[in-house]
């Protein structure tokens, strides 16, 4: 029985590229490209939803319902990025400024997002968890 060897720690640039791929696909409302950034067993916690989503397919169903209602992303910009890498993966935290079309008009909001990545044997990074939170109101 062979050993897989020690897990390698991804570089900050690798994590930033993986995160940028998610943001770019989301900003383009590119369903296929966006969901390819997540593992099938990825989990999702969105402050706008009543329950956590236990798989990528659960989120894909929700996404399809949004699209059917006229939803699409108009813009999405990432800022205040932080990377914490560890052997075999990384945590990426950032703020996102998003504008969406809802079918009833446009909505814009700022949120904080955490994405946890798993690194595959080939070095690629795929998201295994995404957590979206509202930004707290600015202090006076």
Which residue's entry shows tokens 């319902």? 65
The pLDDT assigned to 5 comes to 56
The pLDDT assigned to 35 comes to 98
Return the higher-pLDDT residue of 2 and 31: 31
**Is the pLDDT reported for residue 2 higher than 50?**
no
The pLDDT assigned to 136 comes to 86
- Where along the chain do its domains lie? 12-134
Cite the beta strand spans of the chain per DSSP E. 38-46, 72-86, 89-101, 106-119, 125-134
Position 1 confidence tier, pLDDT thresholds 50, 70, 90 = very low
Report the half-sphere exposure of 64 (CA within 13 A, side-chain side): 8
Q: Which residues contact 8 (CB under 8 A, 6 or more apart)?
A: 87, 88, 119, 123
Second-level CATH architecture of 12-134: Roll (3.10)
Which residue's entry shows tokens 């940028």? 20
Angstrom distance (rounded) from CA 67 to CA 35: 14
Task: Sort strands 38-46 and 125-134 into parallel, antiparallel or unpaired.
Answer: parallel
How many C-beta atoms lie closer than 10 Å to residue 74's C-beta? 13
pLDDT in tens, 101-140: 998 999 999 999 999 999 998 999 999 999 999 998 764 5
pLDDT in tens, 59-106: 999 999 999 999 999 999 999 999 999 999 999 999 999 999 998 999
């Amino acid at each position: 029985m062979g050993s897989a060897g020690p897990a390698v720690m991804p570089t900050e640039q690798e994590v930033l590229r993986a995160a940028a791929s998610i943001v770019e696909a989301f900003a383009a409302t590119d369903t296929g490209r966006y969901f390819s950034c997540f593992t099938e067993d990825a989990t999702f916690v969105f402050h706008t939803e009543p329950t956590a989503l236990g798989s990528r397919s659960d989120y894909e169903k929700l996404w399809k319902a949004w699209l059917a209602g006229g939803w699409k992303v108009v813009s999405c910009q990432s800022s205040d990025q932080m990377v914490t890498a560890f052997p075999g993966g990384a945590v990426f935290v950032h703020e996102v400024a998003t504008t969406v079309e809802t079918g009833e008009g446009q909505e814009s909001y700022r949120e904080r997002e955490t994405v946890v990545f798993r690194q595959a044997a080939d070095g690629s990074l795929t998201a295994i968890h995404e957590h979206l939170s509202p930004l707290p109101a600015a202090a006076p």
